[in-house]
Amino acid sequence: MITATRPDPTRDPWVYRPLPREHASVRLFCFPYAGAGPALFRSWAGRLPPSVELFGVRAPGRERRIREPPHTEWAGLIAAMCTALTPYFDRSVAFFGHSLGASIAYELTRELRRRGKKRPTRLFLSARRSPDSPRLAPTHALPRPEFFARLAAMNGTPAEILNDAHVMTLLEPTLRADVQLAETCPASDGEPVDVPIVAFAGASDEIAPPEYITH
């Protein structure tokens, strides 16, 4: 049973709530890819059925939290998210995560189980290799030119952003931290999560191809 007092989502730096639905029966928590913030899910809110309310998750280092140090270690990030998000679990919840966000949604579910907390009814995970798939060569500590070239190759950062030196100076710490998280994702040890998983893969995704989604 959730007994914590729910904070005000309009003031809470951890959540992005573009379309309040006080009578929705399900809250869908969305976790963005590396370097991104939850505002990218804004257009989803009105496309969901009235019974579902979208809550984007905003970690330090992005959007209104851009000047906060981003997390580089899984334990600290997941512990902070558990504390911040569980007050909103006063009704059914589901998680969606894309790329790094998929790993965060999965690891948060594992931590909720370890703590005996309420868990999502379903996990929707896209564009992320399973934890026991082969790892890619680490890139988060590369010198700036090589690191930026790698970001460009991943097609996750628009060219106009990569070519803007001022913007990239602001974003680089968060991008490196997020890539570090992606490259140091915990191994899939212990019992599998006791939550149904729906996995999505792009047929031409070279980083997370379909054969590695359910590896």
Catalytically active residues are 99
Largest CA distance in the chain: 50
- How would you classify the pairing of strands 52-57 and 15-16? antiparallel
DSSP 111-175: HHHHTT----S-EEEES---TTSPPPPP-TTS-HHHHHHHHHHHT-S-HHHHT-HHHHHHHHHHH
Structure tokens at 108: 């948060």
Beta 92-98 vs 123-126: how paired, if at all? parallel
Collapsing DSSP to helix, strand or coil, 54 comes out as strand
The answer to whether 70 touches 42, Cβ cutoff 8 Å, is no
Distance CA 17, CA 10 (A): 7
